[in-house]
Amino acid sequence: MEHTLPYSWYSDPEILRREQAQIFRSAWQYAGHLGQLPEPGTFFTGRAGRMPVVVTRARDGELRAFLNVCRHRGFPVASGAGRRETLQCPYHAWTYGLDGSLRAAPRSDEDPAFCKEELGLVPAAVGAWGPFVFVNAGTEEPEPLADALGSMPAQVAELGLDVGELRWTSRWEAEVDANWKIVCENFLECYHCQTAHPALAEVLDVSAEAYALSTEGRLSSQRGPIRDYFFGPDVDRAWIDELMAFDDQVGREDRALVEGVHGGVTSGALEHGHLMSRSEQLIGHFQQLTAAALAG
């Protein structure tokens, strides 16, 4: 049987530091959706890994992203989302346009060496797939978003779903007392579904013969009924509410699972675990990618 990653990797602060630097910072991260930028003069904030970012649509209509950190003393220049002509740091009132340029800095005229043109917000790469906005804050020239998405858009299109028609309905957030890898691994297999999610198993065939798993590059795919918090424009609200209530139930069940796993793997009782080669092949793929990124 294939071994899991060493269990020490789920609690070692040095491993987490390397993951932030070598995985999260250099990767495309989902930041928000285009519904938050309905017209010029709008913005929203988020994070790419631990990096605070702000995504804007300036008067020219262009989609832009910046590090949400004032060039003066590091305070965030924006919070939440909304409509504004400028972004102003609450600390010393340095003011930036939605194009990232520094518009004003109090008392800057007193400093002959002050160069406003060189002190705009630091840009980050930004791109969109349908309504989904992604940001890469790690490098000046990251790989194209299309390369990072791989064959996923084509696979989704083959299922008959036009992501461009999706409309945002709601957002669900949670803090889970578990390492991020444990959370990812939980969603990469349904080997646990018949035991831990009996209601889900009633409406979804999760047997090894029916539940299709595949990998391609960095992409892991599981084929089953579509579960998406974005919906077509004509979907009945009552059906959405029923689905979200069901999804919330499954989410509570998963929280208990991943927090339980975290307690076990960080206890020091064992050095590693074992993977079922067929049912947990996506976890093996994920762990191989993680190990390769940290080795690099």
Summarised one tens digit per residue, pLDDT across range 135-155 is 999 876 899 999 999 999 999
Q: Do 219 and 131 fall within a single domain?
A: no
Q: Do 197 and 133 fall within a single domain?
A: no
Residue-number span of the structural domain to which 22 is assigned: 1-26+146-296
Q: Do 296 and 189 fall within a single domain?
A: yes
Of 94, 119, 141, the position where a domain reaches its end is 141
Q: Do 181 and 197 fall within a single domain?
A: yes
Mean pLDDT over residues 215-221, rounded?
A: 89
The rounded mean pLDDT for the chain is 91
Q: How buried is residue 42: exposed, middle or buried, by Cβ count under 10 Å (0-12/13-18/19+)?
A: middle
Q: Do 127 and 18 fall within a single domain?
A: no
pLDDT for residue 229: 60
In total, how many domains does the chain have? 2
Going by DSSP bridges, is the β-strand pair 123-129/63-67 parallel, antiparallel, or unpaired? antiparallel
In tens, the pLDDT along 27-66 reads: 999 999 999 999 999 999 999 988 999 999 999 999 999 9
Of 141, 161, 194, the position where a domain reaches its end is 141
Q: Of 273, 295, 294, which Cα lies nearest the Cα of 3?
A: 273
Q: Do 3 and 35 fall within a single domain?
A: no
Mean pLDDT over residues 102-108, rounded?
A: 97
Tell how far CA 40 is from the center of its chain: 24
Q: Do 63 and 103 fall within a single domain?
A: yes
CA-CA distance, 212 to 68, in Å (whole number)?
Answer: 40
Q: Do 20 and 38 fall within a single domain?
A: no
Supply the angle between the helices 281-295 and 180-187 in degrees, to the nearest 10. 150
pLDDT for residue 244: 81
In tens, the pLDDT along 244-259 reads: 888 888 888 999 999 9
The single residue listed with the structure tokens 């990096």 is 51
pLDDT for residue 97: 98
**Torsional sign, CA 25, 262, 289, 253:** negative
* pTM reported for the whole predicted model: 0.84
Question: Over pLDDT 90: what percentage of the chain?
Answer: 67
Q: Of 37, 35, 73, which Cα lies nearest the Cα of 54?
A: 37
pLDDT for residue 193: 85
Indicate which CATH number applies to the domain containing 243.
Answer: 3.90.380.10
CA-CA distance, 226 to 219, in Å (whole number)?
Answer: 17
Query: Above 60 in pLDDT, residue 171?
Result: yes
Q: DSSP string covering the chain, please?
A: -EE-S-GGGGT-HHHHHHHIIIIITTS-EEEEEGGG--SSSEEEEEEETTEEEEEEE-TT--EEEEESS-TTT---S--SEEE-SEEE-TTT--EEETTS-EEE-TTGGG-TT--GGG-SPPEEEEEEETTEEEEE-S-SSPPPHHHHHTTHHHHHHHTT--GGG-EE--------SS-HHHHHHHHT--TTHHHH-HHHHHHS--STTTSEEEEETTEEEEESS---SEE-TT--HHHHHHHHHHHHHHHHHHHHHHHHHHHHHTTTS-S--EE-TTTTHHHHHHHHHHHHHHH-
Q: Do 203 and 255 fall within a single domain?
A: yes
pLDDT for residue 167: 87
Mean pLDDT over residues 168-185, rounded?
A: 90
Q: Do 127 and 239 fall within a single domain?
A: no
**Where residue 227 falls among pLDDT bands split at 50, 70, 90?**
very low
The residues, any chain, with a CB within 8 Å of residue 168's CB and separated by 6 or more, are 33, 35, 131, 229, 230
Which amino acid, one-letter code, is at 281?
Answer: Q
Mean pLDDT over residues 269-273, rounded?
A: 94
CA-CA distance, 258 to 264, in Å (whole number)?
Answer: 10
Mean pLDDT over residues 203-216, rounded?
A: 78
pLDDT for residue 237: 87
More confident residue, 213 or 135: 135
pLDDT for residue 224: 60
The 10 Å Cβ neighbour count of residue 10 is: 20
**Where residue 288 falls among pLDDT bands split at 50, 70, 90?**
very high
CA-CA distance, 55 to 32, in Å (whole number)?
Answer: 9
Which residues are bridge partners to 55 per DSSP? 44, 65
Of 106, 141, 176, the position where a domain reaches its end is 141
More confident residue, 296 or 222: 222
Which amino acid, one-letter code, is at 92?
Answer: H
pLDDT for residue 238: 87
Q: Do 127 and 150 fall within a single domain?
A: no
Query: Above 50 in pLDDT, residue 26?
Result: yes
Q: Do 197 and 285 fall within a single domain?
A: yes
pLDDT for residue 226: 42
